[in-house]
Structure 1
């Protein structure tokens, strides 16, 4: 059985993931357990995939800290994870035609605002000579998850400040061709996973359009329902992404 750590920001996202992983009757849900730092892991065990779901907090730093804690605890217990998934709701870019309620799977997890502002504009940290700004999940896995869930594949940017203007949305779209969605945790999860050599994926369902904040237009309930639906198809997608010898593809 494959062991997958799913990291969300908040409890509502965690519960939506578990509802999908447990199936319609909820039979896969098991008792939670605690990790150092006050983290609580809530497991779901299916016939082929065991999901451990952790609500680590909002933002890339909280996501990285929670992910690193869970990965380290699992490794020390002799039961390391095969895959880490950053999951939750997020904003979809109008320019990419991503509708509310749709599923987005990242083929690139990009830190949108890690760098420096200069008189000539934003410079990513890599152009300053250090660090990284992108992680690229395994393409076969991303494609399989998108196909199973009816989602789209593209860049998901991680921001520390949610976009609130049309100008900022246009700037992000210009700097990141192929961007479909923005969220606040994916890059932190990916950094923690990369540090321990664990494969990573990001899956988002769209609750609102990126740009001017119009809370009346947000559809959080629809996005959470879509998140549950996506995780109902997740075991099928993992099976489809396995190599010819039955082993999962590695990035």
Structure 2
């Protein structure tokens, strides 16, 4: 059984593919930007695979929370950071509303394999956001609600939902292109983050393919 790596966009998929051996048993597919596209695209791939994959990894670049640019992050949990309701008292997560869960735990066996292959990676919670953070005030609110968060993406939780439904292992890997907070496009390092994604894939290629 092989592994499936899904990314949001083609540039991320290309960066991952550069790091994989030509005979790798890992499939790499871009499924679209955002939680809904990631969930739908991953669910389709897992359904058509008919049990061929033992796990799925949401991979790509993302924003760092207290993590330097170019670093690699592994998710302990994928959390839907803005899925819930606003109120006069503050944000109410879906869990508190009683309508489901906003948290998926990474598969421990798969996460252990990733950590062994990437010993310098930062492990923590990765927030999946429908609207990425662009102000200091919003960042402060997220850090207060999710103190273990180390990165922000737009797809991980959606991929985790699909993996849970298909009963396959889930993990998330991000390389950091920007610092979460006030939006500053001039400070983004997308090229460097994509190169870091290729390097990370090279390091874990052998262990994941086995």
Indicate whether 1:222 and 2:192 are aligned: yes
Aligned-pair distance for 1:236? 4.3
Match of 2:75 in 1: 106
Output one character per residue of 1:21-43: Cα deviation in whole Å (capped at 9) or x when no partner: 13xxxxx1xxxxxxxxxxxxxxx
Matches within 5 A, 1:16-35: 16-22=15-21, 28=22
CA distance in 2 between partners of 1:16 and 1:213 (Å): 25
The answer to whether the 8 A contact 2:35-2:128 is kept is yes
Considering only aligned residues, what root-mean-square deviation do their CA atoms show, in Å?
A: 1.5
TM-score (norm 1): 0.80
Gaps of 5+ in 1: 23-27, 29-44, 243-251
**Kept in 2: contact 1:142–1:153 (CA 8 A):** no
Structure 2 distance, partners of 1:133, 1:82, is 23
2:134 paired residue number: 164
Q: How far 1:171 sits from its partner (Å)?
A: 0.9
Counterpart Cα distance in 1 of 2:89 and 2:184: 31
Spell out structure 1 runs of 4+ moving beyond 6 A. Answer: none
Q: Please give the residue correspondences for 1:120-135 in structure 2 after superposition, counting only pairs within 5 Å.
A: 120-135=89-104
Tell me the residue number matched to 2:179.
Answer: 209
Could you tell me the TM-score, scaled by structure 2's length?
A: 0.95
Structure 1 Cα separation of the partners of residues 36 and 176 of structure 2:
22
What SS class does the counterpart of residue 27 from structure 2 fall into?
strand
Larger C-alpha radius of gyration, 1 or 2? 1
The 10-residue stretch of structure 1 (125-134 or 200-209) with the greater mean CA deviation from structure 2: 125-134
* Mapped contact 2:110–2:169 kept (Cα < 8 A): no
Task: Trace 1:5-154 onto structure 2 (pairs within 5 A).
Answer: 5-22=4-21, 28=22, 45-46=23-24, 50-75=25-50, 79-93=51-65, 96=66, 98-149=67-118, 150-154=120-124
Q: What corresponds to 1:184 in structure 2?
A: 154
Q: Which consecutive residues of structure 2, in runs of 5 or more, have no partner in the other structure?
A: none
2 CA distance for matches of 1:235 and 1:17?
A: 10
Maintained 8 Å contact 2:19/2:205: no
